[in-house]
Amino acid sequence: MTSKKLVNSVAGCADDALAGLVACNPNLQLLQGHRVALRSDLDSLKGRVALLSGGGSGHEPAHAGFIGKGMLTGVVAGAVFTSPAVGSILAAIRAVAQAGTVGTLLIVKNYTGDRLNFGLAREQAQTEGIPVEMVVIGDDSAFTVLKKAGRRGLCGTVLIHKVAGALAEAGVGLEEITKQVNMVAKAIGTLGVSLSSCSVPGSKPTFELSADEVELGLGIHGEAGVRRIKMATADEIVKLMLDHMTDTTNASHVPVQPGSSVVMMVNNLGGLSFLELGIIADAAVRSLEGRGVKIARALVGTFMSALEMPGISLTLLLVDEPLLKLIDAETTAVAWPNVAAVSITGRKRNRVAPAEPQEALDSTAVGGSASKRMALVLERVCSTLLGLEEQLNALDRAAGDGDCGTTHSRAARAIREWLKEGPPPASPAQLLSKLSVLLLEKMGGSSGALYGLFLTAAAQPLKVKTSLPAWSAAMDAGLEAMQKYGKAAPGDRTMLDSLWAAGQELQAWKSPGADLLQVLTKAVKSAEAAAEATKNMEAGAGRASYISSARLEQPDPGAVAAAAILRAILEVLQS
């Protein structure tokens, strides 16, 4: 079965993609009759060297995203993963020559088709009297023993675009640019890893991986890598990649060692989430700095992809100050990131958080039977929520992300850790305030915010009195805060339904002579009934409100969790 793609046609997808980029970027133009994009200000390049690159489509934003002042003059694109036509390459060379440039440098990734087609176009252009040079970039660090074909051209090519572009913008001549670029190319290494393959439009995935496998050392055309490794943590995979890239017994290694200064690129191969990309970047920074390597600049993003491949490549370029100035030079290329000209290593990355305001302690704040009873209640609530984790997640999957149980378990573990630090405050107001801060910080999600709001508001009436009427007022205050900011109302199929039902029963505490346990028992039963009733409600708030009511055949997980918390409190008080 072929993969799904948002295209108009398989045959026209490369043309459409390039046309879309040009349509949205006034600084670019298409060369009529060819799959070529050029700077729209070609005439301003008179007397300077032009830079052309390209290759198969499917590597976006490479290469057309790097057209602009200070980078490429133009790009020649082939079909997906296919070298561009010789005629189009030659047409691009002629176009920049006619604009008055003094020579053209072709920057080519080391693949047979690209070398042949760009090379043929260069030979033809030279017969026409156009000065053309060509550099072939091979930065792949995957192969421990080099074959005749040499190292493949990967994401390090983008750094070559930047260096060559800065030199050309400064007015450096063709011969000198070619010489410097060839020297820089020897100081680059790239290694890729992926969780699965990609698929060319109209085709099946290019290779298969089992659930516990990762492909190491793969290229950018969906081809398999040098070996398969077992799935591991991000830290472990990054360490393995850097070990492989810098191993001096590896014939394609990059000579990075303690004391080296590098530009690091963390490149998304197309389908990795930004969450994972950040985790990989953090792991790479820590691993490199742990080896004594100075990271002069860090570029993180999508620079050279392989369609939707869920993987990354790491690129290291050895740099000195003159080379860094070329990396930092201004460019208008839309895909080049806005990187600060400041070293990553040695920068202070943390700011001290403001101190919490000191709260006046109640004379009964810590210790005693009340504090012990509070601890028992909290422990029972925690064990209840941890036991419900899978059930709550299963209920939550009907409405989307399926993490309600995980969120509540995170809160339970945070409370347990807090209890290990010492006995909880015996003062109800201080206890609720402390729990509010804890849940807001540790629980996360909308549940954490709602519980935090509820507890913060509920603590206020208890600062003056802790009688049963005060506890009823605390429940009222908490419910009011939840409705004010959460925008939910009773009947909207949320956690509020359980709490609201309990709150109505707790109004009885305001009557003289009310019995604590009798009223609380009725409140818990009402909360449980309300939670069960949510299965017949149409969601009016929260994520579930975006889901068809026909799919919500189970009770709301938040309502179930709230009722379970109340049940846990009752059971401890009864015992």
% pLDDT > 70, the chain: 95
Confidence label for 512 from pLDDT (cuts 50, 70 and 90): very high
In this structure, the strands spanning 188-194 and 311-318 are antiparallel
User: Virtual CA dihedral for 553, 559, 565, 570, nearest 10 degrees?
Assistant: -90
Q: How far apart are CA 542 and CA 293, in angstroms?
A: 47
Residues 549 and 454 in one domain: yes
Average confidence (pLDDT) over 450-466: 94
- Residue 395 pLDDT exceeds 50: yes
Mean model confidence pLDDT for the chain: 92
* DSSP single-letter state for residue 37: E
One domain, residues 380 and 324: no
Instruction: State the pLDDT at residue 161.
Output: 98
pLDDT at 424 over 70: yes
pLDDT of residue 361: 52
pTM of the full structure? 0.76
Over pLDDT 90: what percentage of the chain?
Answer: 83
145 shares its domain with 75: yes
The pLDDT, as a whole number, for residue 41 is 96
For helices 234-246 and 274-290, give the axis angle rounded to 10 degrees: 50
Do 82 and 183 lie in one domain? The reply is yes
Predicted confidence band of residue 399 (pLDDT cuts 50, 70, 90) = low
* CATH number, position 466: 1.25.40.340
221 is catalytic: yes
The string of pLDDT tens digits covering residues 207-248 is 888 999 999 999 899 887 889 999 999 999 999 999 999 999
Cα-Cα end-to-end distance for the chain: 61
Number of domains within the chain: 2
Domain match, 81 and 146 both: yes
Is 230 in contact with 213 (CB distance < 8 Å)? Answer: yes
> Helices 557-574 & 368-387, crossing angle to 10 degrees?
140
Q: Residue 425 burial by CB count (10 A; 0-12/13-18/19+): exposed, middle or buried?
A: buried
Mean pLDDT value across residues 356-369? 59
Binding-site residue positions for substrate: 56-59, 109, 114
Per DSSP (E only), the strands in 255-349 are 261-268, 294-301, 311-318
Residue of 388, 403, 385, 255 lying closest to 317 (CA atoms): 255
Q: Specify binding-site residues.
A: 56-59, 109, 114
pLDDT given for residue 550 in this prediction: 41
With respect to residue 207, please indicate whether it lies within any of the assigned structural domains: no
Q: Which domain holds residue 257?
A: 12-202+212-328
Distance of CA 342 to CAs 129, 263, 319, 331, Å? 44, 11, 14, 17
Which residue among the candidates 161, 221, 244, 408 is catalytic per the annotation?
A: 221
Taking the C-alpha atoms of residue 67 and residue 519, their distance in angstroms, rounded to an integer, is: 73
Mean pLDDT over residues 76-86, rounded? 96
Mean pLDDT over residues 508-524, rounded?
94
Check which CATH number belongs to the domain holding 82 and give it: 3.40.50.10440
- Residues 311 and 378 occupy one common structural domain: no
